Amino acid sequence: MRLVTADWVLPISGPPMRRGAVLVDGERIARVGPAIELEREAVSVERSDFDGCALMPGLVNAHTHLALTAFGGLLGPDEFTAWLGRLAGGIRALQPSDIEASARLGAARSLACGVTTVGDIAYGAVSMRAAEGLGLGGVFFWEVLGLRASELDAYLEDAGFPHPGATPPDATPGISPHAVYSSGPELIRAARRVADERAVPFCMHVAESQAEDDLVHRGEGPLRRLATRLADDFVTPHSSTVAYLDRLGVLDHAIAVHGVRLDAEDIATLARRHTAVVLCPRSNDFLKVGVAPMDQLEEAGVALALGTDSAASNEDLDLFEEARALMRLHSGLTAASVLALVTSGGAGVLGLDDDRGRLEQGLRADLAAVRIGPTERPEEALVETAGTSAVEAVMSGGEWRIRHGSAALDTGAIEREASSVREKALLALERAGEDSGR
């Protein structure tokens, strides 16, 4: 057993606890309580003391693309469709081994940020394999696009979509048609059937941009050609994306990512269908698509979580920075409510709230110790100042992944492996730019 103490313990399900402790037994939390009590009960156990720190659940980044981490810094802020076109050219240059190396880098950087659970858009089995090797868990959504519905089963088999019971205990498969402009209506329906038959989560990018609005409302705009090429059975619905997906019958208990272009009727539909929304404020700003109506979503009772999106459309994978960006946009948020979004809220949206996102007896031992210094307001101190450099230690599944700010694994080797992927991606982007200029 292991005893972990800190100046403050934040269970999330209750108020902060001064000088608290967590007792870990194997992969699970055995008890949470005042340090003085657990110290008396748990003698002769391995002990870790984090003075000047707050101990909290491992963070939940509810929307990532770990496989795109090597693209970080290669694509500057840009209009959405221009960025998407450049990114697609870079991805086509990569092999599965490159994707896995990039995902491994993303998993390592996520852990360094205090994240132990992700909702990751996976390009086949490599992202799950890369994350599992480093101790990062969560839901890994197999992304499907540009296929006919009749091709889906064969594609999932070839892409290594796990059969029930074939995944590691800390990972859950899911399925994600990319978006309405890249996945046709029959493919979206077929993907939803797979999700229902296999009892796995279903996720889509929804109502992200003005260009998407132009396509679904009028059949116009820069995404028209992409839809013609990738979603050949797409017919302009002359409605919002949410109304279109509702007519397809795929929104019940689904996860919608971004949710920027939503009106009151859309929000009411999401609430009625129990569709959760993952907010990505910094990515939305990076891609110049606008601000999601969080206040209205929250008022309607829509379940919310927070995600960084990919390193290709953000400055980093730091969920604390994402939380601060959200607070700047929504002045009514409290530190406690934001911390809930990146822990228990994220776990709930991903369907993992019975296993993680809180510090409670019996839950998975996912912990993050974050330096906050002397304070009487630990929640505010975390949200206002914490970041990757303040993460002192990270445990997932009862195993230390970060100790004293350093990773247990050789992250230098991971960085070096990913650097060659980055060079290959950069070369592809430069060639694409040259070709477009001719």
- What pLDDT shows up at residue 436? 45
Please give the average per-residue pLDDT across 242-269, as a whole number: 98
pLDDT reported for residue 391: 94
User: pLDDT band at residue 398, thresholds of 50, 70 and 90?
Assistant: very high
Which of the pair, 44 or 117, is modelled with greater confidence?
117
Return the higher-pLDDT residue of 428 and 298: 298
- List, for residues 59-79, the tens digit of each pLDDT value: 999 999 999 999 999 998 999
Averaged over 32-47, what is the pLDDT? Answer: 90
Q: Which of 43-47, 226-230, 273-277 has the lowest mean pLDDT?
A: 43-47
Regarding the domain delimited by 2-57+368-406, which CATH topology (the fold level of the hierarchy) does it fall under?
Urease, subunit C; domain 1 (2.30.40)
pLDDT in tens, 139-182: 999 999 999 999 999 999 999 898 877 777 789 999 999 999 99
Question: Could you tell me the pLDDT band of residue 438, with boundaries at 50, 70 and 90?
Answer: very low
| Res 410 pLDDT > 90 | no
* Under 8 Å between Cβ of 213 and 196: no
Per-residue pLDDT tens digits for 283-314: 999 999 999 999 999 999 999 999 999 999 99
* Packing angle of the helix pair 411-437, 80-92 (nearest 10 deg): 110
Q: At 432, is the pLDDT very low, low, confident or very high (cuts 50, 70, 90)?
A: low
Lowest mean pLDDT among 28-37, 84-93, 127-136, 426-435: 426-435
Dig out the tokens for 423 from the structure: 């060079």
What pLDDT is stored for residue 434 in this prediction?
Answer: 47
Of residues 3 and 433, more confidently modeled: 3
* Domain residue ranges of the chain, discontinuous segments joined by +: 2-57+368-406, 59-349
User: Which architecture characterizes domain 59-349 according to CATH?
Assistant: Alpha-Beta Barrel (3.20)
Work out the number of other CB atoms within 10 angstroms of the CB of residue 125: 18
Q: What does the alpha-carbon distance between residue 344 and residue 352 come to, in Å, rounded to a whole number?
A: 9
pLDDT at residue number 89: 83
Position 433 confidence tier, pLDDT thresholds 50, 70, 90:
low
Q: What is the pLDDT of residue 339?
A: 97
- 241-255, 301-315, 422-436, range with the lowest pLDDT: 422-436
Provide the mean pLDDT of the chain: 93
Structure tokens at 400: 């230390």
Q: How confident is the model at residue 437 (pLDDT cuts 50, 70, 90)?
A: very low
Q: Residue 261 pLDDT more than 60?
A: yes
Q: Is the pTM of this model over 0.85?
A: yes
- Please list, in sequence order, all residues whose beta carbon lies within 8 angstroms of the beta carbon of residue 51, skipping any fewer than 6 positions away: 6, 7
pLDDT, mean of residues 219-234: 95
Mean pLDDT of 379-386: 88
